[in-house]
Homo-oligomer: A and B are copies of this chain.
Amino acid sequence: MTQLYPTAAVLIIGDEVLSGRTQDTNLNTIARFLGALGIDLLEARTVGDRTEQIVEALNALRAVHDYVFTTGGIGPTHDDITADAVAAAFGVPLLEHPEAVAILERRYGDEFNAARRRMTRVPEGGTLIANPVTDAPGFQIGDVFVMAGVPKIMTAMLEDVAPRLRRGAVVHARTLRVSGVGEGAVADILTAAARAEREVSFGSYPFGHGSVGEIGTNLVLRGRDEARVEAASRGLLAVLGQAGIATETVKP
């Protein structure tokens, strides 16, 4: 893939997501975070707590994308195997990081047991990602950022990750809300608009299916050149108006 902007992938690690016990929200948080930095999130994978599966997915993703963000599996229990898998993927040893040891010694004192010591292990060459919530750090190795699965901690870790990333031009969005007709009624107009302006992507996201209430669709225009997105949005709004289709512009 040739990309003008940095690209990224997310690797979600955890049996609890695949069993349905947990509804993942980290992908959405990371997607918004990367969007604000102008980095294109192109792919995500979810795997279970299996070393082989993690190694394979991580190596596939980091071969293609500028950045990979992982979530989950860095706690103190036996099913937390992400650090081991990342070290294996990079072919380097997993070592206790002195700075991480110091941080957790401070936090736990006499209760700094073997299980908690597991959380200080970082693949050789890795640097820490600060965890202002519970102290146990994530880590960066190469262009891979290894973060916690607990949403509150993961979100906090992104603060420390942001300054390390190369930014791209931000993608701008405009939403046109079409009410009273389904997306099949506006598809031809949308297709024509998309053909006429290749620098802007046109998405259609219907709402209110089959329900008694309002139906309609959100037309979302996205692109890096804000003036072109704005112009395409005005143009589409005009054409929809001419076709007698009620449309309002809304916050993206």
Contacts and interface: CB of A to CB of B under 8 A. Distances in A.
Interface of A: 15-25, 27-29, 31-32, 34-35, 41-49, 53, 75-79, 108, 111, 113-116, 118-119, 133-134, 150, 152-153, 171, 173, 182-188, 190-191, 194, 201-206, 209-210, 220, 222
Contact of A77 (B28, B35, B171, B191): B191
B31 A205 contact: no
Nearest to A193: B78
B43 A46 contact: yes
Nearest to A219: B77
A79 B218 CA distance: 13
B75 A206 contact: yes
Given A78-B194, A184-B108, A210-B152, A42 B18 contact: yes
Given A16-B205, A44-B45, A76-B187, 9 more contacts: A19-B171, A21-B220, A24-B28, A49-B203, A75-B184, A78-B190, A78-B194, A79-B203, A134-B182
Nearest to A187: B115
Given A187-B78, A202-B78, A41 B19 contact: yes
User: Which residue, A15, A35, A205, has most C-beta atoms of chain B within 10 A?
Assistant: A205
A20 B171 CA distance: 12
B150 A222 contact: no
Contact of A185 (B41, B111, B133): B111
Contacts of A79: 194, 201-204
List 7 tightest A-B contacts by C-beta distance, closest first.
A115-B187, A20-B31, A20-B32, A133-B210, A44-B46, A77-B204, A116-B184
A13 B42 CA distance: 11
